[in-house]
C-alpha cells in the first residue's frame, strides 16, 4: 500500500494490471501536493485481499472500504485510472458521502466493450500473455514518440517502466476476471447517481490504443456537471509519460474541492 504526503486526501485506484507499483512516479508527484493513498487490487500479490469470484464486482467496493478504513479516511478524492475508473464510478455512486471529488483518467466509458483483439486475449489470457507482452512496445510506440523528444528519453522510459512492471508482475487470469466482473454492471446508471465534482481526463485522440478517447469522454456527458480535460502528447498512459502534468491537474482539482 502506498500512503504518503500531507494535505487533502486522494485515493488512486490502479488499472487492470492491478499493481500500484506501476504508477510509483506519479504517486510520488501527487504525494508532494496531497496525502496520496494507493493499493493493489484484490487478488494480486501484496493486496492482502483475496478475489472472491462469487462476489463479482463487489470485491472492489469492499476492498476500497477497507482501504479507507486502513488509511483512517472518512472522506477523500478518488482517482480511477483506466479499469480503476470503473471501480471509482461504482464507489462514488454507492458511497457518495465518502467521495469529495472524482477523477476518471483514460477510463473505459459506460457501454465500452473489448475490441476483437482484446476479446481474444480475454478468452485465453494465459496463452495470450507472451504475445501481449512482446507486442506492447510496438503498440504504445506512437504515444511514447509523442511524449518524449528524443531516443535517449524514450529508451530511458522503456527501461525504467519495464523494471517496475517486472518487479510487480501482472496476473493475466485475474485481469480477465476483472473485465468479466465489470460486464455485469450498469455503469450508465451509476454515473447518473454521482453527486461528487468530477474531472474526466484522457490523452489525445489516436494516441490511446487501449480505450478510445470518445469512450472516456462519454463520462463528461453522463455524469452531472462533469468537466473534461485532454492531456497533450500522450494517450492511455498519461500518468506514466507525463507524471508532472498529470499530478498538477489532478491535485489542483482535489484542492479545489476539498472541504
* pLDDT of the residue at 122: 66
Q: pLDDT tens across 30-87, in order?
A: 999 999 999 999 999 888 899 998 899 999 999 999 999 999 999 999 999 999 999 9
Q: How many CA atoms lie within 13 A of 32 on its CB side?
A: 10
The answer to whether residue 131 scores a pLDDT higher than 70 is: no
Structure confidence at residue 124 (pLDDT): 73
pLDDT at residue 137, rounded to an integer: 73
> What is the domain count for the chain?
1
Percent of the chain with pLDDT over 90: 72
- Contact partners, residue 185, CB within 8 Å, separation at least 6: 57, 86, 90
Which pLDDT does position 1 carry in this prediction?
Answer: 92
pLDDT tens digit string along 177-196? Answer: 999 889 889 999 999 999 99
Which residue in 43, 3, 38, 4 sits closest to 21, CA to CA?
38
pLDDT tens-digit series, residues 160-177: 998 998 999 989 888 989
Print the domain residue range for 219.
2-256
* CATH number, domain with residue 23: 3.40.50.1820
Contacts of 72 (CB under 8 A, 6+ apart): none
Amino acid at each position: 500500500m502506498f500512503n504518503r504526503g500531507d494535505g487533502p486526501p486522494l485515493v488512486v485506484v490502479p488499472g487492470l494490471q492491478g499493481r500500484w507499483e506501476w504508477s510509483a512516479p506519479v504517486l510520488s508527484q501527487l504525494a508532494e501536493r496531497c496525502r496520496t493513498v494507493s493499493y493493489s487490487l484484490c487478488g494480486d500479490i501484496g493486496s492482502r485481499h483475496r478475489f472472491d469470484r462469487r462476489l463479482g464486482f463487489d470485491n472492489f467496493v469492499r476492498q476500497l472500504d477497507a482501504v479507507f478504513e486502513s488509511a483512517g479516511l472518512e472522506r477523500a478524492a478518488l482517482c480511477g485510472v483506466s479499469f480503476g475508473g470503473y471501480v471509482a464510478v461504482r464507489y462514488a455512486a454507492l458511497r457518495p458521502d465518502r467521495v469529495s471529488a472524482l477523477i476518471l483518467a483514460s477510463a473505459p466509458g459506460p457501454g465500452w466493450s473489448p475490441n476483437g483483439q482484446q476479446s481474444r486475449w480475454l478468452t485465453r489470457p494465459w496463452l495470450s500473455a507472451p504475445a501481449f507482452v512482446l507486442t506492447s512496445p510496438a503498440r504504445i510506440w506512437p504515444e511514447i514518440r509523442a511524449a518524449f523528444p528524443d531516443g535517449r528519453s524514450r529508451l530511458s522510459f522503456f527501461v525504467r517502466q519495464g523494471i517496475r512492471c517486472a518487479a510487480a508482475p501482472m496476473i493475466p487470469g485475474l485481469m480477465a476476471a476483472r473485465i468479466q466482473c465489470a460486464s455485469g454492471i450498469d455503469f450508465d446508471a451509476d454515473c447518473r447517481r454521482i453527486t461528487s465534482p468530477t474531472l474526466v481526463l484522457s490523452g489525445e485522440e489516436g494516441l490511446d490504443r487501449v480505450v478510445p478517447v470518445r469512450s472516456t469522454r462519454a463520462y463528461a456527458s453522463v455524469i452531472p456537471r462533469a468537466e473534461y480535460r485532454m492531456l497533450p502528447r500522450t494517450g492511455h498512459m498519461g500518468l506514466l509519460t507525463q507524471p508532472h502534468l498529470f499530478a498538477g491537474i489532478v491535485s489542483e482539482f482535489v484542492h479545489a474541492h476539498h472541504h
